[in-house]
Amino acid sequence: MAPLDVALQGFSVFGLVLFVVLWLMHFMSIIYVRLCLHKKRSEAKQPFAQVLGVSLLKPLKGVDPNLISNLETFFTLDYPKYEILLCVQDQDDPAVDVCKKLLGKYPNVDAGLFIGGKKVGINPKINNLMPGYEAAKYGLVWICDSGIRVKPDTLTDLTNQMTEKVGLVHGLPYVADRQGFAATLEQVYFGTSHPRSYISANVTGIKCVTGMSCLMRKDVLDQAGGLVAFAQYIAEDYFMAKAIADRGWKFSMATQVALQNSGSYSIGQFQSRMIRWTKLRINMVPATVLEPVSECFLASLIIGWAAHHVFRWDMMVFFMCHCLAWFIADYIQLTGVQGGPLSFSKLDFAVAWFIRESMAVQIFLSALWDPTISWRTGRYRLRCGGTAEEILDV
């Protein structure tokens, strides 16, 4: 057999295997969403003495129109034993006034404000959180980003998952209903492509965690060196999760989503965020270079070519039918992640879905082009393995 024929046969096999893997991911994520998300637990509340104490670490920088309403949801949690540790890097940050306003409004909530941070590495989030982490008095720490809003029973849901062998509980990232097409675009991504990979990885035993909302055992983090040990990385959430898994602890996913509700958003901000995340994944997990073949249009082309080569089916007809099936599966999954009616029309979904899928390869190529990232107020050069160095302006 000629080398070209061998190559074509191998590529056809790859296309067929890709078809099976991707649709298994579709089905796993859709079934998981329908069975496990937004489920009310019927168990009676534990007596106060048995409730797990939680130290909430809240990194803050700057303000947006939704910051005060997002933060306030943490002051009204229906949970008997927790503290709020608000961490702000700079004394002049307007977030300081927001924090003081909430501390004055809720004097009976166990909460404190830590200003100034502590420089222990290149990661600005870790530096900001250090004083709060050192002051934390409970055995569980909940690191939760500033743009997240919660329901009164969110912390109860998280601690219910923290069973004897679990060391980390995380929430599936999603986006709150907001106005504008940029908000729809974010909601479509976090309701389709992102949960498909995120859920499939966790269901099959691959530790996939984002640090937007993570409840962790503090003693396990301390065994790994505490937050200081992760200050050399930009993607500290990945390495904290890895350290916990390496010590034999299991992960669990909350039944509620981690609801992002930033008041500042645009298509450009979304694109920049996706490029930054892709750069981090490429440097941490080299297999990320295969990500583009998991996106609808490129995957449909590869699978369509394989179907044509093996079964003599019309490639373009298969491509169109496969994209349509993918589109329908994504809509079914999105409605499941939403847990209720969508805030936009089916036409809005179709437009946002098409644009998001069209952006995927461009985002990946942009991430390959430049190994530096801008995050918060700094610029960083990424190294293989996930470490980074800060780029200082001379």
Catalytic residues: 237
Three-state SS at 123? coil
**Which residues partner with 115 through β-bridges?**
88
The two tokens of residue 26 are 């579709």
**Which residues partner with 216 through β-bridges?**
141, 168
**Dihedral sign for Cα atoms in the order 241, 246, 247, 252:** positive
Three-state SS at 225? coil
What is the H or E stretch that residue 111 is in? strand 111-115
Question: b or e along 74-98 (b: 16 or more beta carbons within 10 Å of the residue's beta carbon)?
Answer: beebebebbbbbbbbbeeebebbeb
The two tokens of residue 264 are 């500042």
HSE of 91 in the Cβ direction (CA atoms, 13 Å)? 0
Q: Alpha-carbon distance 233 to 238, whole Å?
A: 9
380 burial via Cβ count (<10 Å: 0-12, 13-18, 19+): buried
Contacts of 11 (CB under 8 A, 6+ apart): 302, 305, 306, 309
Contacts of 343 (CB under 8 A, 6+ apart): 177, 187
Q: Alpha-carbon distance 111 to 85, whole Å?
A: 6
Q: Alpha-carbon distance 229 to 243, whole Å?
A: 10
Tokens 């301390």 belong to 222
Q: Where are the alpha helices (DSSP H) in 138-213?
A: 154-161, 181-191, 193-203
59 burial via Cβ count (<10 Å: 0-12, 13-18, 19+): buried
The two tokens of residue 50 are 């048995």
